[in-house]
């Protein structure tokens, strides 16, 4: 065992032990604790948990890697995910918290009817499962490289750890575990970034330093036949239109993600939900403002190491990542003239997006303890989000389908908990198989989940809160239209389930199709609702009540 593996084992054992201890001490027996932590989570702690839930393997592992290769067009992930959070905090979270239900499908069921609840539960399972696949893939990357495990064992180990504390502690255990995971992942992300910033620019603030190396990076990219890092709309085949659609899809999908929305049910008050949103945005910004610098620094070091080098002269960090299957060399003699992240490009050196952040300490020559800490941070990001997603799958299967539609009032607390944990078990097993054969890079797989959320949940949540005439037939038709449209296009353009990938229609990428799916959902819901009977007066009054304070609150405030 070399020093890097020793420190990786050290930090992983330390952090995993901490997560499992928290889960054990937070174990629950009641559904209210299992799904919403008895609505007793402090505001700052909930903000940190939201941030950890939010910053998945895509944010920690994949985003800076995408920025490194896409250049300025990688900002779609920064703008989409953070912009969507603002939509969620302003337009959805406070109102859904005031409604006071466990899950998004439960809100949908109360607002529309039980048929729509089932459709929403199915959508939640599909979206969350797609998202989980990205986390399994990220966990596999960490274990395959740093612990030398084969890919299938790497994914299985990550899944077992997730399953343990998600099943045991439910939302209460997951919440406090995610607070710890946020501390681990942000520490692991910032320490190497600060060290590399000092090493490259002589100033330990990466958000400032990386601007001084962009001219050099542009020159190196041009030498390797790549577009300039700072050139707008050149990193995506669809250009400006696709950049716009991907950003919009990520924004709307973010606001409609069920595993993030459910977080705002865990606070004590509606005011607490609003302040949780503030703290979460602050915690998220620490990583998101650093990611462009990490992408630029790592790409600069990568190209400098490859410039004028032969296969035998490449930096030593290349070989172990090549052995793990994430780097490919296509040249035996001569120098490295081309670098890409696309396997089919035929470039001399092909480097996966998913390794650049994890490899950044090695690329920069940082000591082994920092490399081990980075591995622990990557796992914290993957584990934190996966646990929240598994809880959504569990709640949708047990609470929204089994309890509400099958057993109804006859289901005991014990039975509901058992069904929820069985649903988690099934989801983990299926996700292991999907994680071994992911359809794309981690950040892209996660973007597909956001596209599905944009085309299903966001329109019916917005219309359910702000338009009294939206009815059950319109909501069901709109969600199904958005789900079928977006998922069909994704399957058409990707190698999924044995299908052959096809060219993008009008250069619209599968990551951006969710924006068009959302527009279709809005249109179908509005048209069908106008052509059919409006909701009952009771439902319309209920919709009014969640947007305005109750009379006693107005009286207490001296307004009536």
CATH of 3-549, one of 1.20.1730.10, 3.40.50.300, 3.10.105.10, 3.50.50.60: 1.20.1730.10
Higher pLDDT, 358 or 344: 358
For residues 397 and 423, the answer to whether their CB atoms sit within 8 Å is: yes
When pLDDT is cut at 50, 70 and 90, the band that residue 523 belongs to is: very high
Using the predicted structure, report yes or no on whether residue 559 has a pLDDT greater than 60.
no
* C-alpha to C-alpha distance for 209 and 213, rounded to whole angstroms: 7
Q: Name, of 82-96, 203-217, 484-498, the range with top average pLDDT.
A: 203-217
CA dihedral 246, 393, 441, 325 (to 10 degrees): 180
CA dihedral 87, 89, 95, 97 (to 10 degrees): 140
Residue 469 burial (C-beta neighbours within 10 Å; 0-12, 13-18, 19+): middle
Q: What was the pLDDT predicted at 313?
A: 87
Q: What was the pLDDT predicted at 271?
A: 72
Using the predicted structure, report yes or no on whether residue 478 has a pLDDT greater than 90.
yes
Higher pLDDT, 167 or 132: 132
- What confidence tens digit (pLDDT) does each residue in 389-438 have? 777 787 777 777 777 777 666 556 677 777 777 887 887 787 777 777 66
* C-alpha to C-alpha distance for 38 and 46, rounded to whole angstroms: 13
Higher pLDDT, 255 or 442: 255
* C-alpha to C-alpha distance for 52 and 49, rounded to whole angstroms: 5
Nearest by Cα to 455 from 258, 256, 244, 261: 256
Using the predicted structure, report yes or no on whether residue 498 has a pLDDT greater than 50.
yes
When pLDDT is cut at 50, 70 and 90, the band that residue 55 belongs to is: confident
| 3-class secondary structure, 256 | coil
Using the predicted structure, report yes or no on whether residue 499 has a pLDDT greater than 80.
no
CA distances from 500 to 134, 492, 493, 494 (A): 21, 8, 8, 7
Handedness of CA 492, 497, 499, 502 (dihedral sign): positive
Q: What was the pLDDT predicted at 557?
A: 46
Average pLDDT, the chain: 82
Q: What is the DSSP string of 468-514?
A: TT--HHHHHHHHHHHHHHHHHHHHHHS--TTPPP-PPGGG--TTTHH
For residues 209 and 201, the answer to whether their CB atoms sit within 8 Å is: yes
Instruction: Find residue 350's DSSP bridge partners.
Output: 328, 340
Quickly count helices (H) and strands (E) in the chain. Answer: 25, 3
Using the predicted structure, report yes or no on whether residue 215 has a pLDDT greater than 70.
yes
CA distances from 136 to 108, 157, 364, 382, 437 (A): 29, 10, 27, 7, 10
Query: Which tokens in the block code for residue 450?
Result: 């956001």
Q: What was the pLDDT predicted at 266?
A: 64
When pLDDT is cut at 50, 70 and 90, the band that residue 486 belongs to is: very high
Nearest by Cα to 181 from 34, 27, 15: 15
**How many other C-beta atoms can be found within 10 angstroms of the C-beta atom of residue 316?**
9
Start-to-end CA distance of the chain, whole Å, equals 73
| 3-class secondary structure, 332 | coil
In the predicted model, what is the mean pLDDT of residues 458-471? Answer: 94
In the predicted model, what is the mean pLDDT of residues 208-222? Answer: 90
Q: What was the pLDDT predicted at 483?
A: 94
Using the predicted structure, report yes or no on whether residue 550 has a pLDDT greater than 60.
no
The pLDDT > 90 percentage for the chain reads 23
- What confidence tens digit (pLDDT) does each residue in 253-271 have? 988 877 777 666 666 676 7
Higher pLDDT, 98 or 292: 292
Angle, alpha carbons 340-144-310 (nearest 5°): 40
- What confidence tens digit (pLDDT) does each residue in 100-123 have? 665 678 888 889 998 898 898 888
Using the predicted structure, report yes or no on whether residue 62 has a pLDDT greater than 70.
yes
Using the predicted structure, report yes or no on whether residue 548 has a pLDDT greater than 60.
yes
* C-alpha to C-alpha distance for 455 and 520, rounded to whole angstroms: 8
Q: What was the pLDDT predicted at 560?
A: 42
* C-alpha to C-alpha distance for 119 and 371, rounded to whole angstroms: 44
CA neighbours closer than 13 Å in the CB half-sphere of residue 152: 2
Q: What is the DSSP string of 225-244?
A: TPPPTT-TT-SSTTHHHHHH
What pTM, to 2 d.p., does this model score? 0.83
Of 15-29, 128-142, 206-220, which gets the smallest average pLDDT?
Answer: 15-29
> For the chain, percent helix, then strand, then coil, each to nearest 5?
75, 0, 20
When pLDDT is cut at 50, 70 and 90, the band that residue 37 belongs to is: very low
Q: Where are the alpha helices (DSSP H) in 256-400?
A: 258-261, 270-288, 291-306, 318-323, 356-363, 368-395
**At residue 351, what are phi and psi to the nearest 5 degrees?**
-120, 125
Which own/partner pairs from 410-416 qualify as long-range (CB within 8 Å, at least 24 positions apart)? 413/29, 413/30, 413/31, 416/31
In the predicted model, what is the mean pLDDT of residues 363-379? Answer: 88
């Amino acid at each position: 065992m070399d020093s890097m593996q020793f420190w990786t084992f050290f930090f992983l054992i330390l952090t995993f032990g901490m997560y499992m201890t928290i889960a054990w001490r937070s174990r629950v027996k009641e559904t209210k604790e299992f799904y919403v932590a008895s609505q007793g989570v402090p505001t700052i702690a909930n903000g940190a948990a939201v941030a950890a839930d939010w910053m998945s393997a895509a944010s920690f592992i994949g985003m800076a890697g995408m920025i490194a290769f896409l250049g300025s067009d990688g900002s779609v992930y920064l703008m989409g995910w953070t912009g969507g959070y603002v939509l969620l905090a302003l337009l959805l979270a406070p109102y859904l918290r005031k409604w006071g239900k466990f899950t998004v499908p439960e809100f949908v069921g109360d607002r529309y009817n039980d048929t729509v609840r089932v459709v929403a539960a199915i959508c939640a399972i599909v979206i969350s499962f797609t998202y989980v696949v990205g986390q399994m893939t990220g966990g596999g990357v960490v274990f395959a490289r740093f612990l030398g495990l084969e890919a299938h064992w790497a994914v299985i180990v990550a899944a077992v750890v997730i399953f343990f504390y998600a099943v045991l502690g439910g939302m209460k255990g997951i919440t406090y575990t995610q607070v710890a995971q946020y501390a681990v992942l942000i520490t692991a992300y910032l320490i190497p970034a600060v060290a590399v910033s000092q090493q490259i620019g002589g100033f330990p603030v990466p958000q400032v330093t990386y601007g001084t190396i962009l001219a050099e990076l542009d020159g190196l990219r041009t030498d390797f036949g790549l577009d300039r890092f700072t050139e707008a709309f050149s990193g995506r085949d669809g250009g400006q239109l696709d950049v716009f659609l991907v950003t919009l899809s990520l924004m709307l999908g973010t606001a409609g993600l069920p595993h993030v929305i459910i977080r705002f049910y865990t606070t004590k008050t509606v005011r607490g939900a609003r302040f949780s949103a503030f703290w979460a945005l602050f915690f998220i910004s620490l990583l998101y403002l650093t990611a462009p610098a990490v992408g630029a620094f790592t790409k600069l070091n990568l190209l400098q190491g490859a410039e004028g080098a032969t296969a035998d002269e490449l930096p030593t960090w290349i070989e172990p990542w090549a052995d793990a299957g994430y780097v490919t060399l296509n040249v035996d003699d001569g120098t490295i003239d081309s670098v890409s992240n696309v396997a089919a490009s035929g470039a001399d050196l092909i480097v996966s997006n998913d390794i650049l952040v994890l490899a950044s300490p090695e690329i920069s020559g940082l000591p082994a303890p920092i490399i081990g800490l980075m591995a622990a941070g990557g796992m914290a990001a993957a584990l934190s989000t996966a646990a929240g997603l598994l809880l959504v799958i569990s709640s949708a299967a047990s609470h929204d389908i089994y309890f509400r539609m099958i057993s109804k009032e006859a289901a005991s607390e014990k039975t509901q908990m058992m069904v929820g944990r069985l649903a988690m078990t099934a989801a983990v097993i299926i996700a292991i198989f999907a994680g071994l054969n992911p359809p794309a890079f981690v950040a892209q797989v996660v973007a597909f989940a956001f596209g599905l959320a944009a085309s299903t949940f966001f329109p019916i949540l917005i219309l359910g809160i702000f338009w009294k005439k939206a009815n059950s037939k319109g909501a069901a038709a709109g969600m199904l239209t958005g789900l079928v449209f977006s998922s069909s296009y994704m399957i058409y353009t990707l190698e999924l389930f044995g299908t052959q990938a096809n060219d993008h229609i009008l250069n619209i990428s599968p990551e951006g199709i969710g924006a068009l799916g959302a527009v279709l959902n809005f249109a179908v819901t509005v048209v069908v609702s106008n052509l059919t009977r409006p909701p009952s007066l009771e439902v319309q009054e209920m919709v009014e009540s969640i947007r305005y304070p109750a009379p006693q609150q107005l009286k207490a405030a001296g307004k009536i």
